[in-house]
Structure 1
Amino acid sequence: MGLVDTLMGKESSALLALDISSSRVKLLELTGDATRMQVKSYATEDLPPNAVADNQIANAEVVAEAIGKAVKRSDTRLNTAAVAVTGSSVISKIIDMPATLSEDEIEQQIGFEADQYIPYPIEDVSLDFQILGPSERDPDMNSVLLAACRRDTVDMRVAAVEMAGLRARLVDVEAYALQNACQLLVSHLSGAGAGQTVAVVDFGASNTCVNVVHDQETVYTREQSFGGRQLLEEIQRRMEIPASEALRMLRSGELASEVRSDVLPNFAELMAQQIDRSLQFFFSSFTESDTVDQVLISGGCALLPEIDEMVERHLGISTKVGNPLHGVRVSASARRNRVDMEGPALMVATGLAMRSFH
């Protein structure tokens, strides 16, 4: 059972990670293993407006063209790829099943009972599952994570990959890919995060995903509709410039004085409010910790100048920019300085690429 060959990484093989966001395609290839990785290939390609809308691919041909350009620029030799669907398009549920069941038997039983958990006709969804381990409620049962996504959402991503001349080997869920990258990010902290509660907040173009890692284990996740698009639109409005020029300004760091002195600090305050709101939900649902030791921000918004310092002033919690590829070896063709500079925006791509090691 799976969205293509597998969801959530039950198999391991060399995979080319393709993070398809609303504004660009990010390509990343990692080699080695989970303890000693190397960035073998890396490239990005911008997408035109509306090629991806509301987290769905609206024009597979245009996205395929961007993937093809990124592949050519990266000089990768891989032709098997991993992509991800957004958490908002996925239904997930943890169910208990007898520990005596094999994976084949679990797959068969889920097929029979899926309509109890999924509010769509079974023929319209792609399903997968992962055995999490013994149930806390009953030692004779296993907790099983069931994930389902509308088939048309999966098919559009697979179509874009295949039109680019690649094979879609794995379709993951962005939230799960982020959890992979979070574990890598936290491992860079003092003591590898042991005994600490760390909030990793990934700010994308349209969505923000919060992962709280307590004592090296992800204990809380939350996704909300907020991202860099709000900043882009405010710059357009203030400066009276087109979206393309506002985006160029943000990516180059060549920000007008009005943006630096007013727009950016206001946006940092909004970022802090989003983080604080998510942490309040976390504290209300998790009894083992009532404080967060550190906040790590990532995603495209983390590339904004001095954004961690501005967020920290509003939040009152130590805040740093997190780079999952910090200290990772980089091949000459992938360009060390570019990977270092853009690393904080590569959380999903890193999590996908790490599926090669699982």
Structure 2
Amino acid sequence: MVRNPFLPEKINENYLFDKIIVGFDIGKTHVNSTDVLLSGTTTTILNSTELEIESFEAQSYEEKIALAIKHSLEKSNKNAQIYSSISSSIMIFKELELPFIDNSQIQKVIGSEIEGSLPFPIDDAYFDFLITKQDKKAKITNIIVAAVQKKYILEHINLFSQAGIEPAKITVDLFDLYGILKKTSSSNYTGPRALIDMGLSSTRIAYIENNTLRFIRTIPTGISLIATLVGKDLGLGKNEAMERIIRFGLEQNSNKEFESIKKHSEELLNKLKFTLDTFESKLNLVGKTQEILLLGGGAEIKNITNFISNYLKITCNHFNLKQLQDATWIKFKKDISLNQRGLLSAATAISDRTYNEFNLNKIEEQKILKTTLKNQLITLFIVMIMVYGLIIFNGFWKSSKLNAEIKKSTQEALTQLKSNNITISKNNLKGALEEATKELETENTKWFAYSQQNDLLKYWEKLCANIDKESIGLNITKLAISKERIILEGSVKDLSVIKNFQKELNDTKLFKTPISLEQESFSLDMPLKNPNNKEYL
């Protein structure tokens, strides 16, 4: 969907205009956010923050989250778009293979395809799909559909609404992580592997084969539960137990502390093993999973990757943040770094680079659709005015041609009369010719005026093509266009867009002198550059 009726947002992977996105990962205990800039083919990490929800004072848990969101955005660009991921634990996933490749066709059928798999009515669901594989020659598309009850999306949106913000896009955590893994991984790697996000409250699993996402599952157990159980064993508070788990981890030891951490970690790994065995069985790949890529808060536990490798007999490595940092398409602002806990919010913000169309915020999509329709109607109106001008010009041309024919015919008739020795009154003939000539001049004057109006419309067309009215919040209170000058009065939404508006006016190359703006409200009297020379139009 083209949101700008004049120019697309991007062509392939190249963004025509800079776009700033703040990606959010809202967990049960922390809110992580990452600011990114999409410019051309480059992505720049501008900032990354992590805030503890309980550190904010408010009456309800939701209000604390809203305060954390608001605080996270204090240093962000005010024009940034807000993206947020939701947990795959509340999602229903269904893998489908469809006999066509057109997105609009896929969108039409997925509702009926997943309806029987949902434990709630299809009318009570928001859903979208991710293309995992496409054979354009055979016209076959493999997709994973993600569906969720509307109440969960509305609750998620409400967290942002309480902070005075509307998220433009809502994604799914594992889709975001899969997207960034696929973007940064070598295309030659085809072995089965599992992407595991070991978070505080849950462990999320994405199973990948031939670089294609095949399954997604969530285990409702994370390192927070391990810390609680270890704390009970050792008589420690949850926070202290968590600190010891991260600090001392799973290095081989014979003390009681290690045995407790080992015991409860193995309980989680047994659930993980059962899930991986299920995936392998469905794909006839029993025992063939080659690698586990670990990320999230659990990835920071000391010696966790060796422990998992030895226990599951599958090579386990950290999700390579360095691989992301070394990617040619991504840059980091000076003194900005990214840790494992902030990876998901970064992946969410970068989702426009990895998969652009997925969005569970259907409410915001409808708003965007209405805005786009409005812009398209404005464009249609401008085109209609241009067509009307062409019709008038064509009428003028035909009228001129007809008058010439009439004059020629009149002269031929006069010659014929004279040649036939017919006596005619010169005065009557001269009066008739003078009257006809006067009428013709009157018509020419009218049509010339219409052509002048057509030129003025071209000035208006030039301004509309150059000025992005929506992004700068342009409010016009007075507009007067003559062949010598354009008078424009109004205001823009704030000081941050004045330079953009000034540049857009000067880029039209219509005016004698450069336009200079310093305040939100303006009154401009702009003489036109050589108005008699129309080449610049």
- TM-score of the superposed pair, with normalisation by structure 1: 0.75
Partner AA of 2:170 in structure 1: V
In structure 2, do the counterparts of structure 1 residues 133 and 165 end up closer, same or farther at CA, with 3 Å as the change threshold? same
- The structure whose residues are more often helix, as a share, is 2
Residue from 297, 302, 306 that aligns with 2:303: 306
| Distance in 2 of aligned mates of 1:34 and 1:301 | 35
Query: How big is the shift at 1:170?
Result: 0.7
| Distance in 1 of aligned mates of 2:50 and 2:233 | 28
Query: How big is the shift at 1:153?
Result: 0.8
* Contact 1:14/1:80 (8 A) holds in 2: yes
- Does residue 284 (structure 1) correspond to residue 278 (structure 2)? The answer is no
Partner AA of 2:33 in structure 1: L
Q: Which moved more, 1:170-179 or 1:274-283?
A: 274-283
| Distance in 2 of aligned mates of 1:65 and 1:132 | 37
Matched residue, 1:124: 124
Q: Deviations over 1:231-290 (max 9, x none)?
A: 110232134333344445556x378x9675333333443344334322211221113674
In structure 2, do the counterparts of structure 1 residues 146 and 319 end up closer, same or farther at CA, with 3 Å as the change threshold? closer
Query: How big is the shift at 1:115?
Result: 5.0
Query: How big is the shift at 1:226?
Result: 2.1
Matched residue, 1:160: 159
| Distance in 1 of aligned mates of 2:165 and 2:256 | 41
* Contact 2:32/2:51 (8 A) holds in 1: yes
Partner AA of 1:160 in structure 2: L
Query: How big is the shift at 1:317?
Result: 2.6
Matched residue, 1:182: 181
Residue 73 of structure 2 aligns to a residue whose secondary structure is helix
| Distance in 2 of aligned mates of 1:250 and 1:70 | 28
| Distance in 1 of aligned mates of 2:101 and 2:317 | 45
In structure 2, do the counterparts of structure 1 residues 97 and 333 end up closer, same or farther at CA, with 3 Å as the change threshold? same
Partner AA of 1:126 in structure 2: Y
Partner AA of 2:259 in structure 1: D
Q: Which moved more, 1:296-305 or 1:267-276?
A: 267-276
Partner AA of 1:349 in structure 2: S
Q: Which moved more, 1:306-315 or 1:213-222?
A: 213-222
| Distance in 2 of aligned mates of 1:113 and 1:280 | 27
Matched residue, 1:91: 92
* Contact 1:80/1:168 (8 A) holds in 2: yes
Query: How big is the shift at 1:166?
Result: 2.8
Matched residue, 2:63: 61
Q: Deviations over 1:187-225 (max 9, x none)?
A: 1xxx55524333222111222222233333333333222
Alignment of structure 1 residues 315-330 onto 2, 5 Å:
315-324=312-321, 326-328=323-325, 329-330=331-332
Query: How big is the shift at 1:68?
Result: 1.8
Query: How big is the shift at 1:32?
Result: 4.5
Partner AA of 2:53 in structure 1: L
In structure 2, do the counterparts of structure 1 residues 195 and 129 end up closer, same or farther at CA, with 3 Å as the change threshold? closer
* Contact 1:233/1:243 (8 A) holds in 2: yes
| Distance in 1 of aligned mates of 2:94 and 2:174 | 14
Partner AA of 2:85 in structure 1: A
Query: How big is the shift at 1:331?
Result: 1.7
* Contact 1:43/1:71 (8 A) holds in 2: no
Matched residue, 2:32: 26
Alignment of structure 1 residues 6-25 onto 2, 5 Å:
14-25=20-31
Residue 54 of structure 2 aligns to a residue whose secondary structure is coil
Partner AA of 1:353 in structure 2: A
Matched residue, 2:5: none
Q: Deviations over 1:48-84 (max 9, x none)?
A: 39x9xxxxxx832111111122223x54555421112
Matched residue, 2:216: 221
Partner AA of 1:166 in structure 2: I
Q: Which moved more, 1:192-201 or 1:38-47?
A: 192-201
| Distance in 2 of aligned mates of 1:118 and 1:231 | 32
In structure 2, do the counterparts of structure 1 residues 180 and 33 end up closer, same or farther at CA, with 3 Å as the change threshold? farther
In structure 2, do the counterparts of structure 1 residues 250 and 18 end up closer, same or farther at CA, with 3 Å as the change threshold? farther
Matched residue, 2:172: 173
Residue 349 of structure 2 aligns to a residue whose secondary structure is helix
* Contact 2:226/2:265 (8 A) holds in 1: no
In structure 2, do the counterparts of structure 1 residues 206 and 242 end up closer, same or farther at CA, with 3 Å as the change threshold? same
Residue from 203, 206, 215 that aligns with 1:211: 206
In structure 2, do the counterparts of structure 1 residues 314 and 121 end up closer, same or farther at CA, with 3 Å as the change threshold? closer
- The structure whose residues are more often strand, as a share, is 1
Partner AA of 2:350 in structure 1: M
Residue from 317, 337, 344 that aligns with 1:348: 344
| Distance in 2 of aligned mates of 1:254 and 1:41 | 30
* Contact 1:17/1:350 (8 A) holds in 2: yes
In structure 2, do the counterparts of structure 1 residues 231 and 114 end up closer, same or farther at CA, with 3 Å as the change threshold? closer
Residue 168 of structure 1 aligns to a residue whose secondary structure is coil
* Contact 1:297/1:322 (8 A) holds in 2: yes
| Distance in 2 of aligned mates of 1:234 and 1:21 | 20
- TM-score of the superposed pair, with normalisation by structure 2: 0.52
| Distance in 1 of aligned mates of 2:67 and 2:324 | 32
Residue from 259, 262, 265 that aligns with 2:262: 265
Residue 164 of structure 1 aligns to a residue whose secondary structure is coil
Matched residue, 1:38: 44
Matched residue, 2:485: none
Matched residue, 1:5: none
| Distance in 1 of aligned mates of 2:96 and 2:313 | 38
Residue 164 of structure 2 aligns to a residue whose secondary structure is coil
| Distance in 1 of aligned mates of 2:289 and 2:113 | 40
| Distance in 1 of aligned mates of 2:283 and 2:113 | 31
Residue 320 of structure 2 aligns to a residue whose secondary structure is coil
Matched residues, number? 328
| Distance in 1 of aligned mates of 2:110 and 2:315 | 44
- Does residue 198 (structure 1) correspond to residue 199 (structure 2)? The answer is no
Query: How big is the shift at 1:47?
Result: 1.8
What CA RMSD, in Å, does the superposition of the two structures yield over aligned residues?
3.8
Query: How big is the shift at 1:312?
Result: 1.9
In structure 2, do the counterparts of structure 1 residues 193 and 300 end up closer, same or farther at CA, with 3 Å as the change threshold? farther
Matched residue, 2:477: none
Q: Which of the pair has the greater relative contact order for Cα pairs under 8 Å at 6+ separation?
A: 1
Matched residue, 2:363: none
* Contact 2:200/2:224 (8 A) holds in 1: yes
| Distance in 2 of aligned mates of 1:218 and 1:114 | 18
In structure 2, do the counterparts of structure 1 residues 34 and 247 end up closer, same or farther at CA, with 3 Å as the change threshold? farther
Residue 18 of structure 1 aligns to a residue whose secondary structure is strand
